[in-house]
Amino acid sequence: MPSGDVCRAYISINIKDAGSRNREILTAYYNEKQDELFGCVHETCWQMAQGKVDCTFASVKASAAHNGRLDYFADAEDRESFLAGCCRLTLPLAIHDADIVPAMKDMLKPHSGYLSFGADLPFAAVDHWCPNAQPAHQFGDRLAAERVIGLDALRDEGLTGEDVNVIIVDHGLDKSAIEGELKGTYGGGWTVYPVGQPPIDPGTLKVVRGVSQNDHGMMIARNILAVAPKVKLWDLPIVPLRITNLPKYLSDAQLAFDDVLADKRLASGRWVIVNAWAPFDRSTEVPRGSYSNNPSHPFNLLMSDFADRKVDVVFAAGNCGQFRPDSRCGKYDIGPGKSIFGANAHPRVLTVGAITTHPLWIGTASQGRGFENLATEKPDLVAPSMFSERADRHTRNGGTSAACAIAAGVVAALRQKWAPATVSPDDLKNILRKTAKRPGKPRWDERIGCGVINAAAAIAAMP
């Protein structure tokens, strides 16, 4: 099968005939083939293998089997009655090596009474996914995202981000919502003074309809706390809703970041600064490249200052990917080699792209290479995005922003055990790059960087 082609396959289970044995069979199947499969189109395979049916997956109900209508189930409380209502369960797969198909057929043949396997002819791979291309619920929930990054490894080590401080650079945070709905700890923040605007105090954002329905900064907080629930969150509310004047924004941001660097509290403790933002449009940059491709720009120099002060800096790659760029992206700032620049491409920050929970690269995510005078191998890695919350399917986590927040949560959790005096920010970034999980591709590429952030492998690689 030519490189880049995919064979679509499926396993079909007759639930009523299989009974409880389907979990045993699926577990054996998954364990044997997990290294050879790029991933399941749905999360069903792994969830069923673990006996977890309280997540979204595709099932044909007995009452609808005659016309093949697909129904979606979520949060079933009674597993047995749920399974009793199913006639057949189909597990779609994407296989990148057609040579394993005969072996899979042989392995599953003893169970042909209730389990069947089929594979289509290879077809040209659709190797990315774009928002609105398919129903969002097909792309997993919080549990699926946690499984992708290996969250269990952090929990097994007791790594929850305790005694770690995380600064969120965004539109602002709602102190009461963090301490209430999100059950997190709010540490404080810094008042910012945008030119020509009133000062903005930290923690004063007011969520109107609840965290699940509102602000970008609170989505970042939610995702960090989901990975590292014991961190202390700090607010730097300098990012406007839209960066329409890049030089002005960089001037405002530089002053705000200088205030943080001058804060004596940074001299003690463990700190991570999260930047889930990126300029969409360089048309106001004069001269062209003065920030985007200039390591000596004052704001870019601050990134090295933070790293020298033992602060981990995490950036989102941005959302100007070639297949579905954000509508705000500049005409010349879209796609490979054009969309990751400035501080987002700084060699001493961790730059994070985005995948679904399958995983498939998300076609809206900005692509490398980074600009030549900064770091060309950007993004560094990817983390999951475009998934919903289990308690509320309408609460979505999207873009490279959600991926950036999840990666920052991993960094904060690791910092609980490994202080920057032992593992510097540069060293930690390199460990995360080297231990990232790659689906059989080169060491680095323009879409997923070095691969998917892998908490278990990172823990194993720590000194």
| CB proximity list for 265: less than 8 A, separation 6 or greater | 165
What pLDDT sits at residue 121?
41
- Identify the three-state secondary structure at position 216: helix
Provide the token pair at 427: 């060293």
What pLDDT sits at residue 259?
95
How far is residue 396's CA from residue 381's CA, in Å, rounded to a whole number? Answer: 22
What pLDDT sits at residue 448?
93
Per-residue pLDDT of the chain (463 residues; tens, 9 = 90+): 333 444 445 555 554 444 444 444 444 444 444 333 323 323 333 333 333 322 223 333 322 222 222 232 333 333 333 344 444 445 545 454 555 556 666 666 665 655 555 554 443 334 555 555 444 444 678 888 999 999 999 999 999 999 999 999 999 999 999 999 999 999 999 999 998 889 999 999 887 654 433 489 999 999 999 999 999 999 999 998 778 888 899 999 999 999 999 998 998 899 999 999 999 999 999 888 999 999 999 999 999 999 999 999 999 999 999 888 888 899 999 999 999 999 999 999 999 999 988 778 888 999 999 999 999 999 999 999 988 887 776 778 889 999 999 999 999 999 999 999 999 999 999 999 999 998 766 789 999 999 999 999 999 999 9
What pLDDT sits at residue 389?
84
Torsion angle of C-alpha atoms 321, 327, 333, 335, degrees rounded to 10: 20
| pTM of this structure | 0.74
- Identify the three-state secondary structure at position 200: strand
| Helix 425-435 vs helix 399-415: crossing angle, to nearest 10 | 110
Hey, what domains does the chain have and what are their CATH numbers? Answer: 5-125 (3.30.70), 136-461 (3.40.50.200)
Find out whether 203 and 253 touch, Cβ atoms under 8 Å: no
Single out the residue of 58, 141, 172 nearest to residue 397, CA to CA: 141
Cα 257 to Cα 163, 270, 341: the distances in Å are 22, 17, 19
Find out whether 347 and 116 touch, Cβ atoms under 8 Å: no
What pLDDT sits at residue 38?
29
| CB proximity list for 389: less than 8 A, separation 6 or greater | 141, 142, 212, 395, 397
Provide the token pair at 38: 């790029």
What pLDDT sits at residue 141?
84
